[in-house]
Chain A
Amino acid sequence: MTDGKLLLYIAVMAGVTYLVRMLPFVIFRKKITSPFIKSVLYYMPYAVLTAMTIPAVFTSAGGDMNGIIASLAGVVIAVLLAIKKSSLVTVAAAACVAVYVVGKVLTLI
């Protein structure tokens, strides 16, 4: 990819993201009252994060059998710690360690 093309992507990305934040702050002075719109906006981040995570996370350490098994180990650790309400950084670090350790063990087998 050329630098120009990359810059174009970044400009569109940053421009839209900024407008989404800026326009409501500058223009809107009234609160959204529709319970339906408020509910959709409330749920949307969870839907987005879930769709980004599943199924991509299962091949995050590689698409071959070893990669998938190592990824699964990371997911299991992340889920267990997340349910226990560990901090975001703890969950992420523990998942990485699990993927690394299981990946290493698999290469030895």
Chain B
Amino acid sequence: MTNLTFRKGLIDGIPIALGYLSVSFSFGILCAKGGMRILGAILISLTNLTSAGQLAGVGIIFALGSLSEMALAQLVINLRYALMSVSLSQKADDTFNTLRRMIVSFGVTDEIYAVASSQKGLINPKYMYGLMLLPIVGWTSGTALGAIAGDILPADIVSALGIALYAMFIAIVLPPATEHKGVLVCALISAAISCILAYVPIFSFISGGFAIIICAIVAAVIAAILFPVKDEESEASEND
């Protein structure tokens, strides 16, 4: 008998949900600052459940980018979830039929994946439903609170909260960059290309969404060639 019950999933999801609440709060503020309807911001968080993809997505929406640009940006930015889904499918027990796989795959985020894959043995659908539930609630309600707060808070406070999401990205990238040369080189290349695309006038026709795609592919490919990741390293990072 497995100890991975729905209840254990719920409990394991609490810290993830609390973290999501604060991250999505700043996403909600960002949406409100850009003039998006509160309901639109909530709908995005409820249906996407991802930070970097949503941030790039609203950037494309505000810039009135094309739908193909939106699709390509989401594909590239969220490609890591494909790897996590492949990995998680190896841990799925026999009770995972196609429908259950389709439901559980909606909840594949960096954090949910990390917690699920760190469990001993196989995982079952009930545990995964429990694990997904509170993070989804936290992510969506945080967005709602942020979007509402963005409408009613004074401008200087909203302006100061605008850095929250970026600060969190810094906190995700810097620690591994100080320990892993490949990550550091990858980040430096990406930053350099990003600045060139943003500031050199001849590249001004490239929109923000495509700029991220270019940075992601060029930097990741160069880093992968210069610093191939050994199996143990990629396994370890998946459990971060």
Hey, which bits of chain A sit against chain B, CB under 8 A? Answer: 1, 3, 6-10, 12-14, 16-18, 20-26, 28-29, 31-32, 35-36, 38-57, 60-62, 67, 70-71, 74-75, 77-79, 81-83, 85-89, 91-97, 99-100, 103-104
> Are B228 and A36 interface neighbours, CB within 8 A?
yes
Q: A88-B19, A103-B160 known; A60 and B67 CB under 8 Å?
A: no
B47 within 8 A of A: yes
Choose, from B1-9, B143-151, B185-193, the stretch at the interface.
Answer: B185-193
> Are B167 and A42 interface neighbours, CB within 8 A?
no
B37 to chain A, nearest CB (A): 8
B119 within 8 A of A: no
Q: Considering the chains assembled together, what is the distance between the CA atoms of A54 and B53 in angstroms?
A: 16
Q: Which of B82, B177, B223 contacts A39 (CB under 8 A)?
A: B223
Q: Considering the chains assembled together, what is the distance between the CA atoms of A46 and B212 in angstroms?
A: 11
> Are A99 and B216 interface neighbours, CB within 8 A?
no
Least CB separation from B162: chain A residue: A60
> Are B166 and A43 interface neighbours, CB within 8 A?
no
Secondary structure at the A interface, as helix, strand, loop or mixed, is: helix
> Are B160 and A100 interface neighbours, CB within 8 A?
yes
Q: A47-B215, A52-B56, A91-B170 known; A13 and B48 CB under 8 Å?
A: yes
> Are B163 and A24 interface neighbours, CB within 8 A?
no
Which chain A residues border B140 with CB–CB below 8 Å? Answer: none
B51 to chain A, nearest CB (A): 9
Least CB separation from B193: chain A residue: A51
**Leading 3 A-B pairs by shortest Cβ distance:** A51-B215, A39-B224, A95-B167
Can you pick out 22 interface pairs between chain A and chain B where the beta carbons lie within 8 Å of each other? A9-B57, A12-B67, A16-B74, A16-B78, A21-B105, A24-B86, A28-B85, A29-B89, A32-B86, A38-B229, A45-B52, A50-B187, A51-B191, A51-B212, A51-B216, A52-B52, A53-B191, A61-B162, A62-B159, A88-B171, A100-B156, A104-B156
Least CB separation from A29: chain B residue: B89
Q: Considering the chains assembled together, what is the distance between the CA atoms of A49 and B53 in angstroms?
A: 10
The total of interchain contacts (Cβ-Cβ below 8 angstroms) comes to 306
Q: Considering the chains assembled together, what is the distance between the CA atoms of A106 and B124 in angstroms?
A: 55
Hey, which bits of chain B sit against chain A, CB under 8 A? Answer: 19, 22-23, 26, 36-37, 40, 43-44, 47-50, 52-57, 60-61, 64, 67, 70-71, 74-90, 92, 98, 101-102, 104-106, 108, 110, 156-157, 159-178, 182-183, 186-187, 189-191, 193-195, 198-199, 211-212, 215-221, 223-225, 227-229, 231, 233-234, 237
Which chain B residues border A39 with CB–CB below 8 Å? Answer: 182, 223-224, 227-229, 234
> Are B171 and A78 interface neighbours, CB within 8 A?
yes
A26 to chain B, nearest CB (A): 5
Q: Considering the chains assembled together, what is the distance between the CA atoms of A59 and B176 in angstroms?
A: 25
Least CB separation from B211: chain A residue: A51
Q: Considering the chains assembled together, what is the distance between the CA atoms of A40 and B89 in angstroms?
A: 20
A58 to chain B, nearest CB (A): 9
Q: A39-B223, A41-B80, A57-B163 known; A46 and B156 CB under 8 Å?
A: no
A68 to chain B, nearest CB (A): 12
Q: A43-B183, A44-B216 known; A26 and B71 CB under 8 Å?
A: no
